[in-house]
Amino acid sequence: MNYIVVGASAGLGRALADKLAESGNNLLIVASNEEDLQAQSADLRIRHSVRIEHKAMRVRCDENSVKSIVEAAAKLGEVDGIFFPMGYSRNDDDGTLKSEDITRIIDSNLAGIVAITAAFLPRMLEKGEGLLVFFGSVAAERGRSSNIAYAAAKRGLQSFYESIRHRSSSTNIRVQYYQLGYLKTAQTFGKKLPFPAAEPEQAAAYIISGIAKNFGQKYFPWFWQYICLALRMTPWFVFKKLKF
Amino acid sequence: MNLVSSSSSRAHNFVSFDGSERAQGKLEIPESAAYFQKDQFTAPQISRGAGLSYAAASFGKNICSVDHARLNKIVDFNEEELWIEVEAGISLGRIYDFLIEKKLFLATQPGHPRISVGGCIAADIHGKNQFLDGTFMNQVQSLNLFHPEHGILELSPKKNEDLFRLTCGGYGLSGNILSCRLKLKRIPSSMAEVQLKPLDTIEQLPERLKISAAASDFVLSWHDFTLKGKDFGRGFIQEGRFIAGDSVLAASKKAAEQSLDAESRGNLPIKVFNPLTIKMMNLLYGSRCGKSGSIFKMSLFDSIFPIQNSKELYFKFFGASGFHEFQAVLPEETFLEYMNGIRNYLLKHPVSITLASSKLFAGKQDLLRFSANGICFALNFERNSESPKFLAFLDKLLLECRGIPNIIKDSRLSKEIVSQAYPEYELFRSALRDFDPKRIYKSELSERLAL
């Protein structure tokens, strides 16, 4: 199979690329740093003897950005699925960010993903099969006073996932959305977390085990579904007093 | 996830693997090679691999430790020319997993698969075959070193030769080792044959080690130092040989999945070791070897990485207070004087030795490299109120016997001992200052030894 992993060079993306290559899949890996991608491509190619293409770029919602991914993917042949384990967040995302910072957050967490999906969806609809895997965050379950633009973008992505799943419901396209809890990545490093963080490799193994299924949305780790349920049911007069 | 910052940092409480040194510093875990930019760093820093060094070589008070764990890729490989190029954060276990199916092998490896290649270079570690293949430096064809004022430099035995020698066995003090090209060795299978040969007295050791080394791919000895009188030091020599055979046994283990770390080592709520349990452990371990010796086949993984799985418990049994390792290379002509000194001390001041083991060494000693002709002898014992006295005795005896101590294994060695034991101590120190006048790279080890 041929897969694209957008956001492949670190954390969950790197773990997913590794598991997919280990299973014998060819990959196009996309991330921002050329040097890292060269090393990662070599590593995957050498260890797993699969075809690896890479594209170094900042994911944006513009024609050139989408075109360069489409061209790079063409070297692989028919694309069977796309994983989007990407994201960008800032500690100062408190509702007062400058436009350029907001644009980067929206591009990386929503608009760029929508644009790339749009470029590959027609062919998947034509074939009647494919795989699209999106990743949200428990940080977007309810709007809070931190990660404001980030949570808005992730909430938008959740809506987008549902729409694409609805659109392709008469086909064999599996559209999956993982609401991720804490993972041991650069985003959580050094932070005091109220719940345990999972290894990216654990998450990747879980995600790969489900790629043939059409389940819609899941939480990872599983216990977050109950935490998030409690969070959603918390009345506003209580919620507004929570500091987290 | 991707597209977040290329590194992350936090304050971190470090502890050395032997449990002796604790310090708060900063820990950074770069995700990207872009982290290493010229002119970016001025604050004291040091590279960190698996953090399994017994001494505090990868951290220090108010020092930034740069953890290479995520920079761990195989970047090139040539099966015909027998080399592999890797990022320095890669573990020996990950390399082992990749090479073993191709019947290839890194000739020099220390005892645990989580140890990083960068750490192996920085400490210029040895394996159980030092007499045959030298130290880790002998396996390094070239390496890339980053220093903020010099950028990325390529070093090899032929290019920047002095800096190569300073960096291999330089305890990370010349810069961040980013990647390296390593020599590989062909092996017949992933199996080894191990033969245990009884050794009745410690006096027989020098001669018997040489005889065993001539007929083996790797050799070490084990001794019971809890015995007294003529039995003191009785044990066995373990000869290892690569053999052809069924590799299924070896493939059952994934080397990269091992979990030992400095923080969890001291986590057991009780200390298991005491004079009685140490005596029993030695008796049990010694009984592995019958009077006429024994031969068994084992996976190469188990033979080169004995400190994993159940043997990780050995280190945990010391509890939070930790342990000491005193490892030294002694010239053959003073070895028995060294052994007799220890025997006499233990008769007067009993210390429960948990492990006594030797290897045969061959090679030139230079700078602060733990390499010389002679016998490498290691002692493990509990860290307690009596141990400083024993260590002070060992320091004195070592100097009298013209031995060298292993700096990476002993977290309390002083500048005075190291500078007397290593003739090129001052040369190492001045070479480091010539290359890095600001001395950006520091650790508890370098501060203690005034490097």
Contacts of B75 in chain A (CB under 8 A): 38-39, 42-43
- Could you tell me the domains of chain A? 2-239 (3.40.50.720)
Q: Which residue does chain A place closest to B102, by CA atoms?
A: A47
Residue type, B233: G
Per-residue pLDDT reduced to its tens digit, B75-117: 999 999 999 999 999 999 999 999 998 999 999 998 888 999 9
Q: Which residue does chain B place closest to A5, by CA atoms?
A: B2
Which of B154, B172, B187 is the last residue before a domain boundary?
A: B187
* Domain contains B406: no
Distance, C-alpha A105 to centroid of its chain: 13
Name which of A42, A135, A189 is nearest B8 (Cβ-Cβ). A189
Looking at the fold, whether B57 and B121 belong to one and the same domain comes out as no
| A236/chain B closest Cα distance in angstroms | 31
Q: Is A10–B10 a contact, with Cβ atoms under 8 angstroms apart?
A: no
Residue A114's H or E segment, with its range, is helix A112-127
Q: Is A59–B3 a contact, with Cβ atoms under 8 angstroms apart?
A: yes
A41 touches chain B (CB under 8 A): no
| A7/chain B closest Cα distance in angstroms | 5
B7 touches chain A (CB under 8 A): yes
H runs (alpha helix) in B48-136: 92-100, 117-122, 130-133
A212 touches chain B (CB under 8 A): no
B5: confidence class by pLDDT, cuts 50, 70, 90: very low
B75 touches chain A (CB under 8 A): yes
Q: Is A46–B9 a contact, with Cβ atoms under 8 angstroms apart?
A: no
Residue B354's H or E segment, with its range, is strand B353-361
Q: What is residue B286's predicted lDDT score, i.e. its pLDDT?
A: 84
Report, as an integer, the average pLDDT of B218-227. 94
Q: What is residue B313's predicted lDDT score, i.e. its pLDDT?
A: 83
* Range scoring the smallest mean pLDDT among A54-63, B2-11, B126-135, B339-348: B2-11
Looking at the fold, whether B96 and B169 belong to one and the same domain comes out as yes
Contacts of B104 in chain A (CB under 8 A): none
B376: CB partners within 8 A, 6+ apart? B126, B130, B327, B328, B329, B358, B359, B360, B361, B406
Per-residue pLDDT reduced to its tens digit, B147-198: 999 999 999 999 999 999 999 999 999 999 999 999 999 999 888 999 999 9
Contact criterion met (CB below 8 Å) for A8 and A29: yes
Name which of B4, B34, B73 is nearest A33 (Cβ-Cβ). B34
A46 touches chain B (CB under 8 A): yes
Percent of chain B with pLDDT over 90: 73
Q: Is A33–B32 a contact, with Cβ atoms under 8 angstroms apart?
A: yes
Is residue B41 pLDDT above 80, yes or no?
A: no
* Domain contains B382: no
How many domains does chain B contain in total? Answer: 2
**Residues counted in chain A:** 244
| A10/chain B closest Cα distance in angstroms | 5
**What is the layout of strands, in order, in the sheet containing B140-147?**
B74-78, B83-87, B176-183, B140-147, B151-155
Give the pair of three-digit tokens for residue B111. Answer: 């005892």
* Domain contains B322: no
- Which of B379, B343, B334 minimizes the C-alpha distance to B358? B379
Q: Is B1–A190 a contact, with Cβ atoms under 8 angstroms apart?
A: no
Q: Is B77–A46 a contact, with Cβ atoms under 8 angstroms apart?
A: yes
- What are the distances in angstroms from CA A230 to CA A154, A238, B18? 20, 12, 45
B44: CB partners within 8 A, 6+ apart? B60, B62, B63, B64, B440, B441, B442
d(CA B451, CA B448): 8
Q: Which residue does chain B place closest to A30, by CA atoms?
A: B2
**ipTM above 0.90?**
no
Contact criterion met (CB below 8 Å) for B153 and B147: yes
Name which of B7, B10, B33 is nearest A35 (Cβ-Cβ). B33
Contacts of A88 in chain B (CB under 8 A): 3-4
d(CA A188, CA B236): 50
Looking at the fold, whether B79 and B122 belong to one and the same domain comes out as yes
* Domain contains B449: no
| A33/chain B closest Cα distance in angstroms | 8
Q: What is residue B310's predicted lDDT score, i.e. its pLDDT?
A: 59
Is residue B390 pLDDT above 50, yes or no?
A: yes
Percent of chain B with pLDDT over 70: 93
Full-model pTM:
0.91
Contacts of B68 in chain A (CB under 8 A): none
- What are the distances in angstroms from CA B344 to CA B289, B347, B352, B384? 27, 5, 14, 20
* Domain contains B374: no
Residue type, B329: V
- Which of A117, A160, A169, A163 minimizes the C-alpha distance to A140? A160
CATH code of the domain containing B123: 3.30.465.10
Looking at the fold, whether B12 and B78 belong to one and the same domain comes out as no
Q: What is residue B308's predicted lDDT score, i.e. its pLDDT?
A: 57
* Domain contains B366: no
Q: Is B74–A46 a contact, with Cβ atoms under 8 angstroms apart?
A: yes
Looking at the fold, whether B47 and B120 belong to one and the same domain comes out as no
B291: confidence class by pLDDT, cuts 50, 70, 90: low
Looking at the fold, whether B62 and B105 belong to one and the same domain comes out as no
Is residue B305 pLDDT above 60, yes or no?
A: yes
For chain B, give percent helix, strand, coil, nearest 5.
30, 25, 40
d(CA B402, CA B416): 14
B1 touches chain A (CB under 8 A): yes
d(CA A231, CA B106): 53
Reading chain A (244 residues) residue by residue, the pLDDT tens digits are 999 999 999 999 999 999 999 999 999 999 999 999 999 999 999 999 999 999 999 999 999 999 999 999 999 999 999 999 998 888 899 999 999 999 999 999 999 999 999 999 999 999 999 999 999 999 888 988 889 999 999 999 999 999 999 999 999 999 999 999 988 877 777 677 788 888 999 999 999 999 999 999 999 999 999 999 998 999 989 988 887 7
Per-residue pLDDT reduced to its tens digit, B226-282: 998 889 999 999 999 998 876 544 444 555 455 678 888 888 888 888 889 999 888
Contacts of A31 in chain B (CB under 8 A): 2-3
Per-residue pLDDT reduced to its tens digit, A49-82: 999 999 999 999 999 999 999 999 999 999 999 9
Q: Which residue does chain B place closest to A56, by CA atoms?
A: B3
Looking at the fold, whether B78 and B129 belong to one and the same domain comes out as yes
* Domain contains B114: yes
Looking at the fold, whether B121 and B171 belong to one and the same domain comes out as yes
d(CA B360, CA B220): 7
Q: What is residue B306's predicted lDDT score, i.e. its pLDDT?
A: 66
Q: Is B1–A40 a contact, with Cβ atoms under 8 angstroms apart?
A: no
Looking at the fold, whether B112 and B171 belong to one and the same domain comes out as yes
List all residues of chain A from 124 to 163 with a beta carbon under 8 Å from chain B. 135
Question: How many contacts, defined by CB atoms under 8 Å, are there between A and B?
Answer: 93
Q: Domain residues for B130?
A: 74-187
B7: confidence class by pLDDT, cuts 50, 70, 90: low
* Domain contains B85: yes
Give chain B's mean pLDDT: 90
Name which of A39, A58, A86 is nearest B1 (Cβ-Cβ). A86
Which of B37, B67, B97 is the last residue before a domain boundary?
A: B67
